[in-house]
Structure 1
Amino acid sequence: MIYETRVYRCIPGRLPALLKRFETTTLKLWEKHGIKQAGFFTTLVGESNQELTYILAWESLADREKKWSAFATDPEWLAARAKTEEDGQIVGNIVNQLLVPTAFSAMK
């Protein structure tokens, strides 16, 4: 397994719109494409409380490439994303990392 952490840094005041988009749209499309999430988090203490961090679980890099590409080009996703951004851009910046668990990690 490999894990991907993604941190979405929202435009100020737009975090509620991002959370709603994930809850009502994105997760359903991920299910359609076989994308598995390991957890979602908002920042309680840190640099900004306008961030959403989440972790995805992948079988391999090839698994990630196949599933993420299919999701990113899905016409249903592209339309939903455009609709949710009619009131303006939601995310200002995305930072992601692909991680491999250590031998002593609780997540394998």
Structure 2
Amino acid sequence: MIHELRIYHCLPGRLPALLKRFETATLAIWDRIGIRQKGFWTVAIGESSAAVYYLLEWESLAELETKRAIFNADPEWIEKRAASEKDGPILSHVQNIILNPTAFSAMK
């Protein structure tokens, strides 16, 4: 099992639009495709309060690549993303980190 940590850095004032998009559109599409999320976080204390951190779980890099391609090409996702950005872009940039568990990790 591998985990993917994604950090979405929002443009000023756009965090609510990103959270709404996840809650009302993205998660249902992920469920349909079989993308497994382990959790979402916003920053209470730290460098940026305009970021969303989330963790995805994958069997392999091959699964990640296959399902990410399916998601990115999904007509519903393309439509919902465009609608969520009708007032302008939401993200300034995205960080993507692939994590491997240590031998002593509680999450494998």
* Range into which the TM-score falls when normalised by the shorter chain: over 0.9
Q: Paired residue for 1:87?
A: 87
TM alignment of 1:86-105, pairs within 5 A: 86-105=86-105
In 2, Cα distance between equivalents of 1:87 and 1:25: 17
RMSD: 0.5
In 1, Cα distance between equivalents of 2:68 and 2:101: 21
- Deviation of 1:47 (Å): 1.0
Q: Deviations over 1:9-59 (max 9, x none)?
A: 000110000000000000000001100000000001111100000000000
* Code of the aligned partner of 1:51: A
- Deviation of 1:100 (Å): 0.6
In 2, Cα distance between equivalents of 1:45 and 1:94: 20
Q: Deviations over 1:60-103 (max 9, x none)?
A: 01111111110011111011100100001001100010011000
* Code of the aligned partner of 2:66: K
Secondary structure of 1:65's counterpart equals: helix
In 2, Cα distance between equivalents of 1:95 and 1:6: 6
TM-score w.r.t. the length of structure 2 is 0.98
* Code of the aligned partner of 2:103: A
TM alignment of 1:29-108, pairs within 5 A: 29-108=29-108
Residue identity over aligned pairs, in percent, reads: 56
Alignment gaps of 5+ in structure 2 = none
> How many aligned residue pairs are there?
108
* Code of the aligned partner of 2:79: A
